[in-house]
Structure 1
Amino acid sequence: MTFSICVRERYTDDSDDGQIRYGVAAAARLPGVGTLCPFASTDGAVATQSFANPDLGRKGIEYLGDGLTVDDALPALLNADDGRRKRQLHGVDAEDVFAFTGEGCRDWSGHTVGENVTVAGNLLTGPDVIEDTEAAYESNAHGDAPLAARLIDALAAGHDAGGDRRDDLEIQSAALLVTTTETDAVDPYYNDLRIDATEAPIADLRETYDAAKRGYDAVMEKYAPASDATE
Structure 2
Amino acid sequence: MTFSICVREEYVDSDGDDQTRFGVAVTTRLPGVGALCPFASEDGAVATQSYTNVELGRKGLDYLADGLAVDDALQALLNADDEREKRQLHGLGRESTFAFSGEECRDWYGHYEGENVTVAGNLLASESVVEATAAAYEGSDRGEPLAKRLIDALAAGDAEGGDRREDLPVQSAALVVASTENQEFEPYYNDLRVDATETPMRELRETFHEARRGYELALDKYTAGDE
When normalised by structure 1's length, the TM-score is 0.96
- Distance (Å, rounded) in 1 between the aligned partners of 2:184 and 2:131: 32
Match of 1:64 in 2: 64
Indicate the larger mover: 13-22 or 98-107: 13-22
% identical equivalent positions: 64
Question: Could you give the per-residue CA deviations for residues 67-118 of structure 1, whole angstroms, max 9, x where no partner exists?
Answer: 0000100000000001100000000011100000000000000000110000
SS in 1 for 2:182: coil
Structure 1 runs (4+) greater than 3 angstroms displaced: none
Match of 2:100 in 1: 100
Which amino acid in the other structure matches residue 204 of structure 1? E
Match of 1:179 in 2: 178
Match of 1:205 in 2: 204
Match of 1:27 in 2: 27
- Distance (Å, rounded) in 2 between the aligned partners of 1:40 and 1:103: 26
Change (3 A) 1:76 1:51: same
Match of 1:39 in 2: 39
SS in 1 for 2:39: strand
- Distance (Å, rounded) in 1 between the aligned partners of 2:19 and 2:89: 25
SS in 1 for 2:75: helix
Gaps of 5+ in 1: none
Shift of 1:226: 1.3
Equivalenced residues, count: 227
- Distance (Å, rounded) in 1 between the aligned partners of 2:85 and 2:77: 13
Question: Could you give the per-residue CA deviations for residues 182-227 of structure 1, whole angstroms, max 9, x where no partner exists?
Answer: 1245310000000000000111000000111111111111221217
- Distance (Å, rounded) in 2 between the aligned partners of 1:6 and 1:187: 20
Counterpart mapping for 1:47-58 below 5 A: 47-58=47-58
SS in 2 for 1:221: helix
Shift of 1:16: 1.3
Is this contact kept in 1: 2:2–2:123, CA < 8 A?
A: yes
Which amino acid in the other structure matches residue 44 of structure 2? G
Which amino acid in the other structure matches residue 202 of structure 1? M
Match of 2:194 in 1: 195
Question: Could you give the per-residue CA deviations for residues 155-183 of structure 1, whole angstroms, max 9, x where no partner exists?
Answer: 00000011000000000000000000012
- Distance (Å, rounded) in 2 between the aligned partners of 1:187 and 1:117: 23
Gaps of 5+ in 2: none
Match of 1:215 in 2: 214
Matched, 1:148 2:147: yes
SS in 2 for 1:91: strand
